[in-house]
Amino acid sequence: MIPDGSLLAAHDLRKTYGSTPALDGASFSVHPGEVVAVMGPSGSGKSTLLHCLAGIITPDSGTITYAGRELSAMPDAERSALRRSDFGFVFQFGQLVPELTCVENVALPLRLNGVRRKAAERTALEWMERLEVDDLGAQRPGEVSGGQGQRVAVARALAGSPKVIFADEPTGALDSLNGERVMELLTEAARSANVAVVLVTHEARVAAYSDRDVTVRDGRARDLEHAV
Amino acid sequence: MSIGHTLLGLLESGPRHGYDLKRTFDEKFGQDRPLHYGQVYSTMSRLLKNGLVEVDGVESEGGPERKRYAITDAGITDVTQWLAQPEKPEPYLQSTLYTKVVLALLTDRSAADLLDAQRSAHLRMMRILTDRKRKGDLADQLICDHALFHLEADLRWLELTAARLDQLAKVVAP
Amino acid sequence: MTLLDSRTAPPAAPESPKPASCGAVVLRDLGLGVRFAAAGGREGWIRTLLTAVGVGLGVALLLLASSVPHLLDERNAREQARSETQISDSPDVNAPKSDSSVLRINTTTEYHDRTVAGYLMRPDGSTPVLPSGVTGFPGADEMVVSPALRELLAEPGNELLRERLPYEITGTIQDAGLRSPGELLYYAGSDTLTTASGGHRIAGYGDERAGDPLPPLLIVLVVMVCVVLLVPVAIFIATAVRFGGDRRDRRLAALRLVGADIRTTRRIAAGEALFGALLGLLIGLAFFLTGREFVGSVEIWDVSAFPADLVPDSMLALLIVVAVPLTAVLVTLVAMRSVVIEPLGVVRRGRERGRRLWWRLLMPFAGLAVFGLTGRISAYEYAPEKPFGIAAGSVLVLVGLALLLPWLVEACVNRLRGGPVPWQLATRRLQLSSGAASRAVSGVTVAVAGAIALQMMFAAMNADFNRMTGQDPTRAQFAGYSEDVTGEAATSAVERFRATKGVDVVIGSVEAYASKPGDYADEDVQPTTSLTVGTCATLRELARIDACEDGDTFVVHPPGDKDMTAWVDETARKGKEVEIGSGYGKPLRWTLPAGSPTVHGRKDPMGETHYGIMATTGAIDAGKVPGAQITVQIRVDRSVPDVAEYVRNTAAEIDPGMRFVTLDSVERDRQYASIQTGLQVGATAVLLLIAASMLVSQLEQLRERRRLLSVLVAFGTRRSTLGWSVLWQTAVPVVLGLAVAVAGGLGLGGALTWLIQKQVADWWLFWPMAGVGGALIVLVTLLSLPPLWRMMRPEGLRTE
């Protein structure tokens, strides 16, 4: 059951770690430029769903379709290439390469895609400007605050001009003021660039930045908006 | 919210007409519910009777006569006392939601669906408030945040209750 | 404060412990550190064990090195005990004959490139003296052998050696009579040996004289080898102590959170290091004791040692026992100076101040200054203090190189910009913390630089030696001399060599002295020259003779030596008599034919020029010449397997006492090559040790970055990208280290060669060592790839 017009859709995903089922028949879809929050208590399988959707791990069964292509059938190299070119990522913490400067971190996805250093860093600086961290360019991640670092991470996720950004608890390590600012900048930038965002969070106030929310409970995703 | 104390407070910066008072009130506090002029009139007469305000003057420039009110020393003391007095924390012990959940359990209706629907409604409201907050000024943001935090608290309760439905069912309908 | 006021007084609180004295606090903290090291769970144990094994390896090597003096002493003592008692400064003087005196002749031979030492002995009376380690005098045609020789003879395939030593084995030489367990030695009995056939009479064993002091160049070599191999070991120990330091720092941060102050954390860290080092000492001792048992059975380059000889010098051992834990504590404290352990984490500092160059340059230059002050040293000069000057200078230069490296790595790495992503990741990483990398690499630098310098020194000595001999192994490969053999035996010896398997040409001649007859006063020297008797073919090898028939005689002039030519002509007067074999009983009188042509001598394969009188076998009966000496020079067909052994067997058969040498310049090269190989093996072992420590740090670093690696995988980073970055991260410091090592090694080698008054023979000797360094990079990278692949899994993304 793939909803019409969706960019990324998953149907009946199952994934087991050892004997614990993490996903148990989860379905999900996101449209271009749409911000969808994936909510649910911890251990419900939110992150597993995100990892499957992003092609980082493969589900035991079920299908994932991205832009008409069957993601779950792709070999690892092809999925990696897709992640480089079409996806962006923001994690809760520990995602910036500590030895690279902030601007180099933001330029990293572009460079992995083969963009030359000068051009990549120019683009990176533009995105850092949009996220109000352009003054941190030459600093290393260890020298900036948590909120700034997270903004750098958001800039990095956007810099590769992805079609989908996967954000896994992007504000989890921030206070509410910083967290909201990061969410504001992320959703604003994503909407204006028509980038879809899959936002995994357990905080309702973070989820409130989305257009729609999906709840994962016991490995099953429920789209309440549609259920009501 | 005590309208009397609020109007008294507004008068502290200087004497005002009744209409002037209503406009200032709406501007600062009444985004969702503007005051009726009748409310202002009745409140002011009560304050006048209690000696907290006095009539500063009467104007009638080709229209109905308008009273200008000024705060008295007793009024100032009253405002000071009101501000210093902490608001009583709302205990929220009489919750409609709780009642609904228990009733659903007693009548074998799906309490989980009820909770999910409520969650969804809360989230929708939060999304609207977030949107408004994003577009509004600082005052808007603070007001929306106040509401958002309350809604979030409700949501947490909904989630907690959803997780404990089985336990609750045993207690409520053994 | 109402809250506090309203509280009732606390019930009688437990009496807080009295503040401990300062010393007790230190002990308590150290003990706490030991407890952390010993009971830190699996993580803690792994860290402690890594440190301990690393330190242990180093300690074992140090103990081995500290045993060398004792080993040499013991060997020397045993060797002296079995040498004959000197009765005169001249080695030719025989002892007076007595009931206990013994006639003996050295019959040492070579077999498959190994020396088989031996003596043929004949007792003069009923109570002959015995060499140490021998309990009974071997009877005629019997021998006592060392265990190694017994084993060698018993092995199949060694029939040729068995043939050469045709004696019955009747006993074994005990350890007390052996230099080392692998020594091949025999004492054989004889009932035919006489002084006339080369026997030498001895009165007893035990050389009381002090041994010759080591030649100064050898001392320089020994000291240098120690430095080159031990400095990296010390560096390795210092690195091993830091294994797992980051993890420890974080644990200490947790302690700060519960109230420990900075000094306490330092003391705890010191306690952990101390425990690791002490455990390392024990492990090192165990390694050493176990290894020692195997040393007896292992023989490297003709060198082996009795386990009992490997006893560390007590002072050196004490030094090791004290210095290793002390070093561990000091290294830890110094390392901790550059980090601040805060309750909420670890802050690194010291970035604001770059490394300084000037004091690092001081050491190598001080080393060169020491060289200058020491001055040049010659191989023959007795200057006991100079080798220490050279050694001290070398240590300064080598340690200086090790100190220079961190600065150089930092300076170079900080200039690196841009490049592809893997390169950028690697260089940025190095920019952030180049210290760990350069520390490990400085060990490589010292080992490689030292090895290069030593090899240059060896090569220079060797080349020098080869230039001096001037032998020509294409004309003959073996030469033998047998003295005091009658002319008859001499001619038959030549025939027997000719009949030996694999022999192409024998240049066999009988030589004796020819003098001008007459009576001479004591001060006058009787004109004497040599008489060489041989076939035309033989004589052509010794002089430039055109026409030769049997019965011809020649007067041979040394080319380009006027004095000697005159001296030859004084004796060899054509048509006049000469006396042959004066001094060996009744000399033979013989007339030099008047028509003998005068020719020029040429160099024989031994590199000696022959001159005097040469006669074909038809001109004089060689069998009648008294005091003749056989000289054979043999050319063999090298394609015949074991040809050398056949020739040696024939020689032993003719005369076990024949001095028999191999004229093979390749042989010498092989000796040199074995030293070079030895050095390379040693240096490679040290490099492997360092590779191990680099690998440990690399893996530690990867483990710390597990999450980051997963994030990078999520991004779609190729494995090869990260693999290359790991390679560059190892390669950049190692290449810089090797560059410093090659430059420093060539400089030091050049300086050392100059100091010993030789010339650099080969500037390209560093290639093998540089190659080993390169292999090191590849090895460390390859070994870190599987863990890297394993850590590049999305599992790392799951938050705990």
- Tens digit of each residue's pLDDT (9 = 90 or more) over B90-118: 777 668 888 899 999 888 888 888 998 89
Tell me whether residue B155 is in a domain: yes
Instruction: Return the pLDDT at A228.
Output: 33
Q: Is A47 on the interface with C (CB under 8 A)?
A: yes
**Pairs across A and C, CB distance < 8 A:** 73
Residue B32: give the domain boundaries.
3-84
Tell me whether residue B104 is in a domain: yes
Rg (C-alpha) for chain B, rounded Å, is 23
* B66, B33: one domain: yes
* B70, B102: one domain: no
Residue type, position B51, single letter: G
Spatial distance between the Cα atoms of A102 and A98, rounded to a whole number of angstroms: 9
Partner-chain contact A97 C712, CB within 8 Å: yes
Tell me whether residue B147 is in a domain: yes
Task: Compute the nearest-CA separation of A162 from chain B (Å).
Answer: 24
Spatial distance between the Cα atoms of A142 and C432, rounded to a whole number of angstroms: 11
Interface probe for C, chosen from A23, A42, A47, A99 (most Cβ of C below 10 Å), is A99
Closest chain C residue to A141 measured between Cα atoms? C432
Ranking B133-142, C213-222, C771-780 by mean pLDDT, the lowest is C213-222
CA distances from C653 to C87, C161, C646, C648 (A): 31, 12, 11, 8
Higher pLDDT residue, C225 or C102? C102
Partner-chain contact A47 C798, CB within 8 Å: yes
Task: Compute the nearest-CA separation of A57 from chain C (Å).
Answer: 7
**Residue C89 in tokens:** 């400064």
Spatial distance between the Cα atoms of B171 and C6, rounded to a whole number of angstroms: 40
The candidate with the shortest Cα–Cα distance to B111, out of B174, B154, B163, is B163
pLDDT digits (tens, 9 = 90+) for B35-50: 888 888 888 889 989 8
Residue C432 has pLDDT above 80, yes or no: no
For the segment C685-693, the average pLDDT, to the nearest whole number, is 78
Partner-chain contact B120 A205, CB within 8 Å: no
Question: Residue A89: which of C715, C718, C798 has the nearest Cβ?
Answer: C715
Partner-chain contact C708 A98, CB within 8 Å: yes
| pTM tops 0.90 | no
Instruction: Return the pLDDT at C431.
Output: 83
For the segment A57-78, the average pLDDT, to the nearest whole number, is 88
Q: What single DSSP character describes residue A136?
A: G
Instruction: Return the pLDDT at A197.
Output: 95
Partner-chain contact B163 A41, CB within 8 Å: yes
Q: Using 50, 70 and 90 to split pLDDT, how confident is the model at C468?
A: very low
Interface probe for A, chosen from B127, B133, B134 (most Cβ of A below 10 Å), is B127
Regarding chains B and C, contact by 3 or more CB pairs under 8 A is answered as no
Percent of chain C with pLDDT over 70: 83
Q: How distant is the alpha carbon of residue B97 from its chain centre? A: 20
Q: Using 50, 70 and 90 to split pLDDT, how confident is the model at C4?
A: very low
Ranking A203-217, C288-302, C343-357, C412-426 by mean pLDDT, the lowest is C343-357
- Residue A227: list chain B partners with CB under 8 A: 116, 120
Phi then psi dihedrals of residue C182, to 5 deg: -90, 5
Higher pLDDT residue, C22 or C668? C22
Top CATH class of A8-227 equals alpha beta
Residue C189 has pLDDT above 60, yes or no: yes
Count of domains observed in chain B: 2
For the segment C370-378, the average pLDDT, to the nearest whole number, is 78
Q: Using 50, 70 and 90 to split pLDDT, how confident is the model at A163?
A: very high
Query: What DSSP string describes B50-96?
Result: TTSEEEEEEE-SSSS-EEEEEE-HHHHHHHHHHHHSPPPPP---S-H
Neighbouring chains of C at 3+ CB pairs under 8 Å are A
Instruction: Return the pLDDT at C282.
Output: 93
Spatial distance between the Cα atoms of C549 and C616, rounded to a whole number of angstroms: 8
Spatial distance between the Cα atoms of B162 and C547, rounded to a whole number of angstroms: 124
Instruction: Return the pLDDT at A166.
Output: 94
Q: Using 50, 70 and 90 to split pLDDT, how confident is the model at A223?
A: low
Residue C464 has pLDDT above 60, yes or no: no
Mean pLDDT of chain C: 78
* B79, B128: one domain: no
* B56, B114: one domain: no
Higher pLDDT residue, B60 or A52? A52
Residue type, position C245, single letter: G
Q: Is A99 on the interface with C (CB under 8 A)?
A: yes
Question: Residue C715: which of A84, A99, A168 has the nearest Cβ?
Answer: A84
Partner-chain contact C429 A109, CB within 8 Å: no
pLDDT digits (tens, 9 = 90+) for C329-348: 888 888 777 777 777 666 66
Spatial distance between the Cα atoms of C384 and C392, rounded to a whole number of angstroms: 14
Tell me whether residue B153 is in a domain: yes
Partner-chain contact A56 C798, CB within 8 Å: no
Residue A124 has pLDDT above 90, yes or no: yes
Neighbouring chains of A at 3+ CB pairs under 8 Å are B, C
Q: Is A98 on the interface with B (CB under 8 A)?
A: no
Tell me whether residue B89 is in a domain: no
Ranking A87-96, B94-103, C675-684 by mean pLDDT, the lowest is C675-684
Residue type, position A130, single letter: R
Sheet holding A20-30, edge to edge: A20-30, A8-17, A61-66, A69-70
H helices, E strands: number in chain B: 8, 3
For the segment C682-707, the average pLDDT, to the nearest whole number, is 79
For the segment A30-56, the average pLDDT, to the nearest whole number, is 88
Q: Using 50, 70 and 90 to split pLDDT, how confident is the model at C473?
A: low
Q: Is A119 on the interface with B (CB under 8 A)?
A: no
* B79, B121: one domain: no
Q: Is A34 on the interface with B (CB under 8 A)?
A: no
Q: State which of B84, B114, B143 marks the end of a domain.
A: B84
Ranking C153-157, C165-169, C758-762 by mean pLDDT, the lowest is C758-762
- Residue C425: list chain A partners with CB under 8 A: 97, 99-100
CA distances from C772 to A95, C275, C359, C681, C685 (A): 37, 34, 30, 10, 10
For the segment C426-452, the average pLDDT, to the nearest whole number, is 81
**Do residues C413 and C430 lie in contact, with contact meaning Cβ atoms separated by under 8 Å?**
yes
Interface probe for B, chosen from A213, A214, A218, A222 (most Cβ of B below 10 Å), is A213
3-state secondary structure of C615: strand
Instruction: Return the pLDDT at C349.
Output: 58
pLDDT digits (tens, 9 = 90+) for C41-67: 676 777 788 788 888 888 888 888 788
**Residue C663 in tokens:** 């004229």
Partner-chain contact C421 A87, CB within 8 Å: no
Partner-chain contact C711 A95, CB within 8 Å: yes
Higher pLDDT residue, C163 or A227? C163
From chain B, which residues contact A within 8 Å (Cβ)? 116-117, 119-120, 122-123, 126-127, 129-130, 134, 148-149, 151-152, 155-156, 159, 163
* B57, B24: one domain: yes
- The most confident of C12-21, C106-115, C659-668, C757-766, by mean pLDDT: C106-115
* B8, B80: one domain: yes
Closest chain C residue to A109 measured between Cα atoms? C715
Residues of chain B with pLDDT under 50: none
3-state secondary structure of C285: helix
- Residue B122: list chain A partners with CB under 8 A: 204
For the segment C495-522, the average pLDDT, to the nearest whole number, is 79
Task: Compute the nearest-CA separation of A74 from chain C (Å).
Answer: 14
- The most confident of A219-228, B138-147, C92-101, by mean pLDDT: B138-147
Partner-chain contact B123 A207, CB within 8 Å: yes
Mean pLDDT of chain A: 87
Partner-chain contact A87 C432, CB within 8 Å: no
- The most confident of A159-173, C62-76, C465-479, C707-721, by mean pLDDT: A159-173
CA distances from C65 to B115, C7, C287, C457, C680 (A): 79, 71, 14, 22, 17
Residue C518 has pLDDT above 80, yes or no: no
3-state secondary structure of C481: strand
The CATH number covering residue B67 comes to: 1.10.10.10
Residue C2 has pLDDT above 50, yes or no: no
Spatial distance between the Cα atoms of C534 and C615, rounded to a whole number of angstroms: 7
- Residue B155: list chain A partners with CB under 8 A: 204
pLDDT digits (tens, 9 = 90+) for C692-703: 878 888 887 888
